[in-house]
Structure 1
Amino acid sequence: MAAELPIPVYTNLDDLYRNLGTTVNHAVRWNNLAEEFVTRFSRKPAYIARAPGRVKILFTLSSGEHIDYTLFGCFPAAIERDILIACAPRSVRTSPSPYSSQTGPDLESQQVSGSVVAENLHGKYSRQTFVPAKKLSWQLDIDTKQLRWESYVKAGYYGVLNHYFTPAAGSDGHPVPVDLLVTGSVPAGSGLSSSAAMVVASTLAFLAVNGKLDDTSISAQGMTKGKLVEMAMENEKRVGVNSGGMDQAASVISTANSALYVSFFPRLSAQPIPLPGASTTSISISPASSLQPRAVFVCANSLVVSDKLVHARTRYNLRVVETLVAARVLARRLNIPVGEKEKVTLREVLGKVMGEDAGGGEDMDLGILMHGLERMISEVELLKPNQRDDGEEGVTLEEMIEWSGLSEDVFREVYLSWVDGNGWFPVEATYFQLYKRAKHVFTEALRVLQFREVCLRASSPPSLSVLEELGNLMNESQESCSRAYECSCPELDELVQLARDAGAYGSRLTGAGWGGCTVSLIAESEVESFIHKIKNAYGPYKGLQGEELHEVIFATKPSSGACGEYSYFR
């Protein structure tokens, strides 16, 4: 199993690059980071941790921004863009860093066990010094309402402290003081999961610098990929994100040239699936043979940012409520018993319909699951509301409560009174779209399995028809996201259409939606002309050149997951 493998640790960059993909000149970034670390901290880094961002090729909102709320699988892939953290244990410093404007308390804190001096190559982020406090458990101040860059560093540190430096973990030892320097090429707020990559890289850096990668006090195998995913999931909750694990799994478990089939029921699991047409060779602009098509993904940033906190009640939180209430109502109409205060999911309803024994802990055969999804796509018509006199779609809150079979008080307690890491979990809608949301979830879950099936049966190199088949599934997904789940936006819809007009096999939004990026499947030989066409057609890109353009639209190949590098810079 991929999750049981150890975290890769390389001793030279050649071995690391061989597995990464080559559309980005990684060596320049790594060398620049190492040299800058020497400049700022007067010694070489002992370790550099890497964690990539990811694209969601197909997904069912199963790994929601707040909770797991459908439990169906998804199909992400790690990208080449990543977060790098250089770090080294620190001896007592007798003079301030040349980059530090702080004196006094700052210097004193640097001498404390477990203290951290964190710097960022990006000029807009200031130097931070912090010291964990040991009470009943380790504590670090994180303001979840104002997410600063160092909050993600602190979040990664939390898990290492509380898993390895407590009496319960069999340790009364103390973490080492650490200097670290961060750089990243994953655009923030773009839907490519820069936050998960930051937490994974931070967790890995603190594990390595404290000598815990091979520690067997937590696991007989030491730190495995699966254990790192679990720890990173737990750590990211510290910044107010109750993550379902998909982003972390993609960042940690991915292998070069492959995507992941991530399943959440009955437990989190991830299976690498080779992607037809992808390769670890460099992107070539020369014409490719029509008999041997090669393909890459191109990510294009819409430059629209959806503020999760501002829009949660009408977007993220609302979809959670709609899908969970849809599951209860559908179960009721199929005569499936559900506990009064049980938040049954659409995946669990399917399992009950198919006679699945969730308590047995066995994954459902994927062939049976596909058959079940086809059946549920028919059954979901039971949720279709009657046509309204005012022409509006959906059901009112009063109608939704009546359909649920619950009293108003119990309904509000179960579905409208949650609390998450950011406070209350409010929703706002005149009409709730139970039918449309459930229809998207079931059809998208089927597309995920169909995409997986096409990849597994494809030859290498694939035929043109295989890439077109994958592209069609991506296009169908975007149509459903836009019309049924309504998580797209005009700019994303425009970028998707421009991508198809420019020759993409398929294109769709990636991430949670309402902004961020699109991902398009492109013939490798057409990347340069494709990007040129999008630049000339999409208004916000006009006038961008060079690195500015490369920041918003770029090609990527499926990358390997999180890793570390030890000895190259010694």
Structure 2
Amino acid sequence: MDVASSATAAFRTTFGADPAGLWAAPGRVNLIGEHTDYNAGYVLPFALPQQVVVAAAPGDGPGWTVCSDLAPEAVTFAEPAPGTVEGWAAYVAGVVWALREAGHAVPPARIALASDVPVGAGVSSSAALESAVLTALADLGGLDLPVPRRPALAQRAENGYVGAPTGIMDQSASLRCEAGRALFLDCRSLEVEQIPFDLAAEGLAVLVVDSNTPHRHVDGEYGARRASCEAAAGILGVPALRDVPTGDLARALARLDDGVMRRRVRHIVTENQRVLDTVGLLRAGRIREIGPLLTASHASMRDDFEITVDRVDVAVEAALAAGAYGARMTGGGFGGCVLALIDADAAGATTAAIERAYRTRSFAPPTAWSATPGPGARRL
């Protein structure tokens, strides 16, 4: 059963009727630009074919009832104040709360969820859920809510309600990506540019490898990295680390006494430049040439930002040894996925090489698939 059918079936089972419609929002992989979003920098994600599908209809009472094809019981809430709804349903309640906080009259609704976005893999399953729910509620309520304004509301749900200190990239990708393109996002101005990323035309593929090492954002590590970046920006007298020019990096680092903070700053400043360099190559149609930038990004995340783990490092090394043009971890870190830019006919061989490397180290097997840039949130 596909995801849309699963959502429809869950709705019928829980509510005894057909939904008014189906809405979908995708997970994402970030081609390059990690932890730059909350530093007001640049990112370059694209949407995955995997998605969260919402089957929804107007409510028959004053509140909201949500169910999932993976949860045994529905959850009902009437006043979604922070802390009153927990678990997976908190992401739904958070969207309702964020919309109401922004002054929107959110319609009561019955909602059923289904998803094939891997959870805990660093491909934004939570942002996909938030984006799908927000899109459904905006349509059901006829809300005056232009798409460019939606990512900030979905991010508000995750930051202010769920408690995860994520930047705006994930929700922007889920809501604003286009098929066949990567989304170049300026996280300060929120301006976007759709960058051509036609892998098939060049005989290429992006292999996404789930290391099956779940990561967590609602924990101390992500927050610690963010706090360190903000503290460094304060010491350097800039609004955000995005404002440290690459040419001034050495001078900026010399002003920081803490070695850990210096490494964090070096990653952010050089990562922003790598995003800009990658965009320049893609605009010129030179997709293969972004490979070394991807690999340099991984080395920076490993050595300076210190957010990789053994399983993702091994996957990157094995992919490169198998002939990938470049490879890097994608996502917030401490687990999750790796992406590798490869020839389209090399997916099987590259996957096999990573599987062999995992067996040698007695790691649980990884899961891999080729990703094609897909569309953002929409009504089906």
TM-score normalised by length of structure 2: 0.90
**Alpha-carbon distance between aligned partners in 2 of 1:543 and 1:240, rounded to the nearest angstrom:** 30
1:474 is matched with which residue: 294, 299, 313?
294
Contact 1:50–1:82 at 8 Å: present in 2 too?
yes
Partner of 1:193: 124
Cα displacement string for residues 222-265 of structure 1 (whole angstroms, at most 9, x for unaligned residues): 43211221221222221113443111111111101111111123
Partner of 1:512: 332
Contact 1:160–1:206 at 8 Å: present in 2 too?
no
Cα displacement string for residues 481-531 of structure 1 (whole angstroms, at most 9, x for unaligned residues): 111221112221111101112222111011111211111112222223322
Contact 1:58–1:76 at 8 Å: present in 2 too?
yes
Cα displacement string for residues 32-77 of structure 1 (whole angstroms, at most 9, x for unaligned residues): 43344334433222111111111111114123xxxx2x22111111
Q: Percent sequence identity over matched residues?
A: 24
Partner of 1:127: 73
1:346 aligns with 2:255: no
**Alpha-carbon distance between aligned partners in 1 of 2:138 and 2:297, rounded to the nearest angstrom:** 39
**Alpha-carbon distance between aligned partners in 1 of 2:34 and 2:28, rounded to the nearest angstrom:** 16
2:171 is matched with which residue: 237, 248, 261?
248
Partner of 1:51: 25
1:148 aligns with 2:95: no
Residue 536 (structure 1) shift? 3.3
Matched positions, count: 378
Contact 1:51–1:198 at 8 Å: present in 2 too?
yes
Residue 449 (structure 1) shift? 0.3
Matches within 5 A, 1:44-83: 44-63=18-37, 68=38, 70-83=39-52
TM-score normalised by length of structure 1: 0.61
Closer, same or farther: CA 324–87 of 1 in aligned 2, 3 Å? closer
Partner of 1:159: 98
**Alpha-carbon distance between aligned partners in 2 of 1:180 and 1:384, rounded to the nearest angstrom:** 50
Contact 1:117–1:127 at 8 Å: present in 2 too?
no
**Alpha-carbon distance between aligned partners in 2 of 1:160 and 1:116, rounded to the nearest angstrom:** 14
Residue 325 (structure 1) shift? 3.5
Matches within 5 A, 1:102-117: 112-113=61-62, 115-117=63-65
Residue type of the alignment partner of 1:175: P
Residue type of the alignment partner of 1:324: E
1:377 aligns with 2:249: yes
1:487 is matched with which residue: 290, 294, 307?
307
Matches within 5 A, 1:320-339: 320-329=226-235, 331=236, 338=237
Contact 1:158–1:235 at 8 Å: present in 2 too?
yes
Residue type of the alignment partner of 1:382: A
**Alpha-carbon distance between aligned partners in 2 of 1:150 and 1:303, rounded to the nearest angstrom:** 24
Cα displacement string for residues 195-241 of structure 1 (whole angstroms, at most 9, x for unaligned residues): 1111111112222233x1xx4xxxxxx43211221221222221113
Q: Give 5+ residue unaligned stretches, structure 1.
A: 1-26, 92-111, 134-138, 167-173, 216-221, 280-291, 332-337, 351-371, 386-394, 396-431, 459-465, 566-570
Cα displacement string for residues 286-344 of structure 1 (whole angstroms, at most 9, x for unaligned residues): xxxxxx6322222212222344455x1xx323323433343344x3xxxxxx4xxxx74
2:107 is matched with which residue: 147, 156, 175?
175
* Structure label with greater radius of gyration: 1
Contact 1:47–1:209 at 8 Å: present in 2 too?
no
Closer, same or farther: CA 481–162 of 1 in aligned 2, 3 Å? closer
**Alpha-carbon distance between aligned partners in 1 of 2:263 and 2:270, rounded to the nearest angstrom:** 11
How well do the aligned residues superpose, as a CA RMSD in angstroms? 2.6
Residue type of the alignment partner of 1:225: V
Structure with the bigger percentage of strand: 2
Residue type of the alignment partner of 1:301: D
Moved more, 254-263 or 432-441: 432-441
Residue type of the alignment partner of 1:200: S
Closer, same or farther: CA 242–481 of 1 in aligned 2, 3 Å? closer
Contact 1:131–1:140 at 8 Å: present in 2 too?
no
Matches within 5 A, 1:293-312: 293-310=202-219, 312=220
SS at match of 1:45: coil
